[in-house]
Amino acid sequence: MLFAVKMDVAIPADLDPGVRADTIAREKAYSQELQKSGKWRHIWRCVGQYSNLSVFDVESNDELHDILWGLPLFPYMSIEVTPLAVHPSDINA
């Protein structure tokens, strides 16, 4: 199952700098492992925002839910999920 996921991050300005750095490092490692596994297929930065647009390829809604809740930055995110289907005009389909 493919999902487009928009993640907007809003880390509190008063968060301890050490906690901030550690959380961001853990987020990067977690996301890169998911990318290597093929579950996090694409990630793009949204220009001018602390946001990304990503595509996930997972087995179920529950798996995506668990992945998103496991993000170290999850407590500081607003997330919008859109299920995707193959487009009939896609030449690669």
CB 8 within 8 A of CB 77: yes
The structure tokens listed for 35 are: 């990318």
Residue 76's CATH number: 3.30.70.1060
Q: Mean pLDDT in the chain? A: 97
CA distance 20 to 23: 5
88 — phi, psi (to 5°)?
A: -65, -15
Which pLDDT does position 23 carry in this prediction?
98
Q: How large is the average pLDDT for residues 47-74? A: 98
**Domain containing residue 76:** 2-84
Those residues with Cβ within 8 angstroms of residue 25's Cβ, 6 or more apart along the chain or in another chain: none
In a domain, 26, yes or no: yes
Q: How large is the average pLDDT for residues 60-88? A: 97
- pLDDT exceeds 90 at position 93: no
Which pLDDT does position 2 carry in this prediction?
98
- Model confidence pLDDT, tens digit, residues 16-51: 999 999 999 999 999 999 999 999 999 999 999 999
**Angle CA(52)–CA(54)–CA(55) in degrees, nearest 5?**
175
In a domain, 71, yes or no: yes
- pLDDT exceeds 90 at position 82: yes
In a domain, 12, yes or no: yes
In a domain, 60, yes or no: yes
Of the candidates 2, 20, 22, 25, the one whose C-alpha atom is nearest the C-alpha of residue 10 is: 20
Query: Total structural domains in the chain?
Result: 1
In a domain, 89, yes or no: no
